[in-house]
Amino acid sequence: MNQAFELNELDKQMPNIFAQCDTLYFDFGENNELDQKLFTWIKQLKKQNRIGKRVPEKLHFLAPIVAQMRLYKDSIEKSLMREAGRISVLAHKTAMKYAQQHNHEAQVTAKLEYTMHQHGSERTAFGSIVASGANTCTLHYRENNQSYNNNVLMLIDAGAEYQGYASDITTTFPTGGVFNEEQKAIYQAVLNTHNAVLEQCKPGADFDSLHALSCRQICIELRKLGILQGEVEDLITNKAYQRYYMHRIGHWIGCDVHDVGNYHDGNAWLPLQKDMALTVEPGIYIFPNKDLDEKWWDIGVRIEDSILITEKGYENLTPGLPRTVEEIESFLAT
Ligand code: GLY
Ligand code: MN
Ligand code: MN
């Protein structure tokens, strides 16, 4: 900043400042009052044309420029995102154990968010999802108000914000500490997909290729379990996975959990580049459906990490969670 004035001098100073500029950058259409003021200042300036004042020649939208800048994280942003991730991992691990000893989603939500604040997070990055049993299948479950018995699946999608930077993690685990056969099979299917996508997270990949890979892997997995039948290529072409996997593979993350920034430049999907941050979050959600054996019903699993693209691959910003079936079961057993 080159200059600062009292706010009550705004109307007086702005026309003078405009008079010295060739280009004006502004977020048009975001705030009616400010839009109005801007045009008033320009009008004032135009009236002073004969005494040598001139209006800026170019008007530019500011938001797309800032959005493009926000796609790339500098070293300070990266350390803030690592800290947001560290706090979120701690909160998830604490909540997982707590869920085992309690029986209400609200209790787990309280413990989860308390742990975030306790470790320096100013607020949650978005409304926490703490879903038990059939609620695991509801994508934007926010009620967090149901009691559960001690042997259901729980899905927690939550992240801390730290000094303005977001984190986003989903963990899925059995509240009884041990997966049943069907829960285990679906969990493993999602984990295989998560790992397959992570492996491709490097410069040059793009959101569409990662999403397509996740759809393919989910078809392969669901076919192996007999939940989908037919050739993998046909299942992909017919979008058979959409009944069980109805969202995208991930999103940009940064100052916002679903951060600004284009995914596509009008011609092609943006290639991932070093220092971009995103989430990877495949899931399978099985609503009761008469075509399918009841043993599969109401199982919802999502596995989500926040990552940063590096020179050759990616860095997990949310490392250290128990992720395999064995890791989760042994974590909950101790
Ligand atoms: N909880 C929002 C998301 O994962 O995108
Ligand atoms: Mn997410
Ligand atoms: Mn999430």
Q: Is the CB of 259 under 6 A from ligand 1?
A: no
Looking at residue 158, what is its pLDDT?
98
- Spacing, Cα 11 to ligand 2 middle (Å): 42
Cβ-based neighbours of 95, under 8 Å, separated by 6 or more: 108, 111, 112, 115, 130, 156, 158
Residue nearest (by alpha carbon) to ligand 1 atom 1: 157
Distance of CA 231 to the CA centre of its chain: 32
Q: Are 165 and 93 a contacting pair, CB within 8 Å?
A: no
Atom of ligand 1 nearest to the CA of 251: 5
Q: Which of 221, 217, 176, 177 is nearest to 198 (CA)?
A: 217
Q: Which ligand is nearest to the CA of 278?
A: 2
Pocket test for ligand 1, best of 281, 302, 317, 318 (most atoms within 8 A of CB): 281
Q: Is the CB of 305 under 6 A from ligand 1?
A: no
Domains of the chain, residue spans: 7-67, 72-333
Q: Is the dihedral of CA 209, 210, 215, 218 positive or negative?
A: positive
Which residues make beta-bridge pairs with 26?
A: 61
Residue nearest (by alpha carbon) to ligand 1 atom 3: 168
Instruction: Map tokens 């044309």 to a residue.
Output: 49
Cβ neighbourhood burial of 183 (10 Å; 0-12, 13-18, 19+): buried
Looking at residue 1, what is its pLDDT?
83
Look at the domain 72-333 and name its fold: Creatine Amidinohydrolase (3.90.230)
Which residues make beta-bridge pairs with 307?
A: 278, 316
Looking at residue 186, what is its pLDDT?
98
Please name the helix (run of DSSP H) or strand (run of DSSP E) that holds residue 108, with its range, or none. Answer: helix 105-118
Looking at residue 3, what is its pLDDT?
87
Atom of ligand 1 nearest to the CA of 126: 1
* Helix, strand and coil in the chain, % to nearest 5: 45, 20, 40
Pocket test for ligand 1, best of 252, 279, 302, 307 (most atoms within 8 A of CB): 279
Q: Tokens in use for 263? A: 């995914």
- Spacing, Cα 216 to ligand 3 middle (Å): 22
Pocket test for ligand 1, best of 168, 301, 307 (most atoms within 8 A of CB): 168
User: Which segments of the chain have a pLDDT < 70?
Assistant: none
Q: Is the dihedral of CA 96, 101, 107, 112 positive or negative?
A: negative
What is the rounded CA–CA span in Å between residue 83 and residue 301?
Answer: 26
Atom of ligand 1 nearest to the CA of 302: 4
- Spacing, Cα 139 to ligand 3 middle (Å): 10
